[in-house]
Amino acid sequence: MRVTKMHGAGNDYVYTLPRHDRDDWDEVARKISDRHFGIGSDGLILGLKSDKADMRMRMFNADGSEAEMCGNGIRCLAKFAVEEGFLPHDAETVSVETLGGIKVLQLFREGGEITSARVDMGPPNFSPASLPASVEGSGPIVDLPIVVDGMDLKLTLVSMGNPHAIHYIDYDPAAFPLERVGPLVENHHLFPRRTNFQVVQVLGKGEVKHRVWERGTGITLASGTSASAVCAASRMRGFTGDRVIDHMPGGDLVLEWDGKGSVFMTGPAVRVFDTDWPG
């Protein structure tokens, strides 16, 4: 199977354009994502034909679980599909069917090569039922108190088609024990389908810094849906404005949300290498 390793701000996935869908992608994802015995990645992303959009995206986390969407991954998938001839080489916009809805991307080129993309991530949803979360009420949930491993957290909940629980801190997220607390929040009983967990430091009206524990994968260097959730939650709470630069360990993403419609995310798409996988 011909595959390609790509990353968006260090959030790395293995990509392939299979001729046929199959029922064992979860096992393929677990093996191919292993950083010791496989290629090594945050997961596996497939580009498939769609009767609703230019193409369809399936995304599997490193543990084999299928996720709704990946913001960094979808930018790389669009670049990959164009470069492989799956989509027209002169495409300026690409629509992608995902489990989180149809997403539309605007492609940016330098010297003829696609280097980045702007993604319409869709509108945020602050209803607990949209995550889902076992919390009473239908309005925005902010500063929801939970205790994990003796640590007091206050969560802001938001869905970007997948679930996010955000904890704001007033110090560098690098000092937060994410490797210990992350899996406990992901699997907390409040989240029947588990959740992504973000730790965020607000640096100013147009700047935040955050780390993420991704559901089904663990700590990653970046996450596009997480950055979109952080943008929406931070603006909703009055911490930031309509445009914010999100600094993550793998690089920066630019997020825009006017408080009404879709969140827009702009970031890089980088091809690392191509190889054959015996699967």
Tens digits of per-residue pLDDT, 49-106?
999 999 999 999 999 999 999 999 999 999 999 999 999 999 999 999 999 999 999 9
The C-alpha atoms of residue 233 and residue 229 are separated, in whole angstroms, by 6
Q: Identify which of 67, 57, 127 has the alpha carbon closest to the alpha carbon of residue 87.
A: 57
Of residues 77, 75, 79, the one with CA closest to residue 58: 77
Quickly state the pLDDT bin for 138 (edges 50, 70, 90): confident
Indicate where the chain has its CATH 3.10.310.10 domain(s).
Answer: 2-122+267-276, 128-261
pLDDT given for residue 20 in this prediction: 86
pLDDT bin (cut points 50, 70, 90) of residue 137 is: confident
Average pLDDT over residues 242-258: 98
The percent of residues above 70 in pLDDT, for the chain, comes to 100
Q: Per CATH, is 128-261 categorized as 3.10.310.10? A: yes
Whether a cis peptide bond, with omega within 30° of 0, leads into 132 is: yes
pLDDT in tens, 156-192: 999 999 999 999 999 999 999 999 999 999 999 999 9
- Rounded CA-CA distance 174/102 in Å is 34
pLDDT at 225 (0 to 100): 96
Residue 279 has pLDDT above 90, yes or no: no
Q: What is the residue-averaged pLDDT of the chain?
A: 97
CA distance 102 to 135: 28
pTM of the model: 0.94
Spell out the alpha helix ranges (H) of the chain. 25-33, 71-83, 178-186, 224-236
Report pLDDT digits (tens) over 58-71.
999 999 999 999 99
Give the CATH superfamily of 2-122+267-276.
Answer: Diaminopimelate Epimerase; Chain A, domain 1 (3.10.310.10)
